[in-house]
């Protein structure tokens, strides 16, 4: 008994402080993961991205983790070298990846430049996101093992729930403030904020390494007496031959693929289907992680005390099907109902992870836990790579007119500004680009938010003539302005004049600049159905093998 008291984790203040400190690195990771999602419309109208480009970018998170097996290597490194070295290296990688992404968005690449047939800016942003993904997933399994290390036999599910809550606070913040930040400052501002959070995460993990070292020192005698066998590569065979492990891994990839990619597109969905003001559109999907911040620890605490882990995962999967199914129905376009459904989805998203992650140590021994989490995260990354890419391709294919029409608007406004105002105010190409990008973005937002018309497909419209009309009518209106006053005042007046002129043309021609998300929502609903099937299979396997998933975590 005296030896147990020597362990630092027996101190409530020590173990909960360690949890908060180690969770800060994941806060920054979750912020950057979604910092670009709300600004998808601006990336399209300002930088010429389309939904396939955005899908490629979001899928790049898993490139190195999946194809180069970096996650598997991270798990092995974690089991061989421990939490401190793995976690510090992971947080540094996260900061490097975010920095590359920020540089790519700041840089103006040559017109038409591509890498492997993809726009250079898109590819470089994706490259940064891929490096960030390696660091984030490595940090994720490291933090999970750290929580097990500090909370085994204690409030493990509650601790994991709180760790996820702190991380998802980053998601909520990103979804809520990224678009207002981008519109009021620069489209790159959310990424710059993410980079600052990454630096804070590195510092936080450095602090954690000292706490972890003290924990090891306090348990040195106990660990020596246990004489646990070190991890061996053959232990991987034990993991992959475990049927219960595969059920929980597949449930993980299906469930997370139905939620995380949804959040990537949710702000754009709210703008296009529910006519929500872009300034506030991110607040609705941010309700989901805000809900999980409170509920995941609550459900984790219930699992700790009452058990029923497999049953909790079944209920969460049912909620997933219910919410995505209703969001799929075309005639339901009330933003109030959408907000309620997102909150309900947050409840489902609180249930499954609260029970899933604390269940893994019941199936896999601790010495193999890092690798087990790594394999689960690797499988999850296959989904997080494939599903966003699929969603982007499907969205682009089912809405072929939208991206070209947005590009047409931006180019028409830019030509009008260049031919009408450039000489009067000595505007350079960069200044013209800034005005035309912001203007086209606001015109598109105004149309999508305030107008409801039956669009005319591109094959029935003379888009070249519409572009010419945008140029000519803007030139006519801009030419009539009094240009003798202050430059900024004249340009502000020109901006409003062009906004009204272009808006009238687009509304009259019924140009399609609104995405229809029906098929993407069908994909999410199907993922929910598959999640339910594997949740039932996991419960049946637990009953057969006696893992104790339905039993409490707290040892009495």
pTM (predicted TM-score): 0.74
Domain holding 325: CATH number? 1.20.1250.20
Confidence of residue 438 (pLDDT cuts 50, 70, 90): confident
395/412 same-domain check = no
- Do 277 and 350 belong to one domain? yes
Q: Supply 382's token pair.
A: 């296959």
Bridge partner residues of 115 (DSSP): 118
**pLDDT surpasses 50 at 142:** yes
Radius of gyration in angstroms for the set of CA atoms belonging to the chain, rounded to a whole number: 26
**Residue 232 forms part of a structural domain:** no
Does an H or E element contain 253, and which?
helix 243-257
Domain contains 5: no
CA 156 to chain centre: 25
Domain assignment present for residue 427? The answer is yes
Asked whether residue 252 is domain-assigned, the answer is: yes
Q: What is the pLDDT of residue 233?
A: 62
Judge whether 244 and 541 are in contact, CB under 8 Å. yes
On whether both 184 and 266 belong to a single domain, the answer is yes
Residues 84, 138: one domain?
Answer: yes
Q: Are 24 and 204 in contact (CB under 8 A)?
A: yes
Unique residue bearing structure tokens 């998802």: 168
Q: What pLDDT does 152 receive? A: 77
254-263 mean pLDDT: 90
Q: Is 318 exposed, middle or buried (0-12, 13-18, 19+ CB in 10 A)?
A: middle
- Higher-confidence position of 253 and 148: 253
Domain with 204, as residue range(s), is 10-221+237-399+516-545
Higher pLDDT, 443 or 171: 171
Q: Chain-wide mean pLDDT for the chain?
A: 84
- Whether 348 and 476 share a structural domain: no
With H, G, I as helix, E, B as strand and everything else as coil, classify residue 119. strand
Give the confidence band of 147 by pLDDT, cuts at 50, 70, 90. confident
Q: Do 306 and 442 have their domain in common?
A: no
227 occurs within a structural domain: no
pLDDT at residue 4, rounded to an integer = 44
DSSP 114: E
Spatial contact of 25 and 139, defined as CB atoms under 8 Å apart: yes
Domain count of the fold of the chain: 2
199, exposed or middle or buried, with CB in 10 Å at 0-12, 13-18, 19+? middle
> Could you tell me the sign of the dihedral formed by the alpha carbons of 44, 116, 382, 149, in that order?
negative
Mean pLDDT of 157-182: 86
> 238-247, 257-266, 322-331, 346-355: which has the highest mean pLDDT?
322-331
For residues 84-101, average pLDDT:
94
The reply to whether 345 and 385 lie within a common domain is yes
pLDDT at 149 over 90: no
């Amino acid at each position: 008994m005296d030896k147990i008291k020597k362990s630092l984790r027996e101190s409530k203040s020590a173990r909960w402080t360690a949890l908060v400190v180690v969770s800060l690195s994941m806060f920054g990771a979750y912020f950057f993961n979604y910092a670009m999602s709300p600004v998808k419309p601006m990336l399209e109208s300002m930088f010429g991205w389309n939904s396939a480009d955005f899908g490629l970018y979001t899928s790049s998170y898993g490139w190195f983790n999946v194809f180069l097996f970096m996650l598997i290597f991270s798990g092995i490194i974690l089991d061989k070298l421990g939490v401190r070295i793995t976690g510090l290296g992971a947080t540094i990688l996260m900061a490097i990846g975010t920095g590359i992404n920020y540089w790519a968005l700041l840089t103006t690449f040559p017109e038409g430049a591509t890498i492997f047939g993809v726009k250079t800016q898109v590819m470089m942003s994706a490259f940064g996101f891929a490096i960030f993904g390696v660091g984030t997933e490595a940090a994720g399994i490291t933090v999970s093992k750290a929580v097990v290390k500090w909370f085994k036999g204690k409030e493990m599910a509650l601790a994991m729930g709180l760790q996820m809550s702190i991380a998802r606070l980053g998601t909520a913040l990103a979804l809520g403030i990224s678009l207002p930040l981008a519109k009021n400052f620069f489209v790159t501002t959310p990424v710059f904020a993410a980079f600052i959070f990454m630096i804070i995460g590195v510092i936080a993990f450095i602090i954690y390494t000292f706490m972890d070292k003290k924990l090891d020192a306090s348990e040195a005698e106990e660990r020596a007496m246990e004489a646990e066998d070190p991890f061996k590569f053959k232990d991987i065979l034990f993991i992959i031959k475990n049927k219960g492990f595969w059920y929980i891994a597949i449930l993980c990839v299906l469930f997370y693929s139905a939620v995380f990619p949804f959040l990537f597109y949710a702000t754009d969905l709210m703008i296009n289907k529910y006519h929500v003001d872009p300034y506030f559109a991110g607040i609705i999907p941010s309700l989901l992680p805000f809900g999980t911040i409170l509920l995941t620890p609550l459900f984790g605490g219930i699992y700790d005390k009452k058990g029923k882990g497999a049953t909790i995962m079944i209920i969460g999967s049912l909620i997933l099907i219910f919410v995505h199914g209703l969001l799929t129905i075309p005639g339901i376009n009330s933003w109030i109902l959408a907000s309620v459904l997102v909150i309900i989805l947050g409840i489902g998203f609180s249930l499954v992870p609260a029970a899933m992650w604390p269940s893994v140590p019941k199936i896999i021994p601790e010495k193999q836990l890092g690798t087990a989490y790594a394999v689960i995260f690797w499988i999850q990354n296959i989904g997080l790579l494939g599903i966003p890419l699929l969603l982007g391709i499907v969205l682009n294919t089912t809405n072929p007119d939208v991206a070209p029409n947005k590009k047409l608007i931006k180019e028409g406004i830019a030509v009008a500004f260049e031919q009408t105002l450039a000489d009067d105010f000595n505007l350079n190409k960069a200044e013209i680009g800034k005005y035309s990008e912001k203007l086209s973005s606001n015109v598109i937002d105004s149309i999508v938010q305030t107008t409801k018309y039956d669009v005319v497909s591109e094959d029935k419209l003379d888009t070249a003539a519409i572009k010419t009309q945008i140029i000519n009518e803007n030139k006519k209106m801009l030419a009539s302005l009094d240009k003798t006053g202050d430059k900024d005042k004249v340009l502000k007046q020109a901006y409003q004049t062009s906004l009204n002129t272009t808006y009238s043309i687009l509304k009259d021609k019924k140009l399609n600049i609104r995405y229809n998300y029906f098929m993407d929502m069908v994909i999410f609903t199907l993922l929910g159905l598959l999640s339910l099937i594997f949740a039932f299979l996991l419960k049946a396997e637990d009953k057969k093998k006696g893992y104790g998933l339905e039993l409490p975590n707290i040892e009495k």
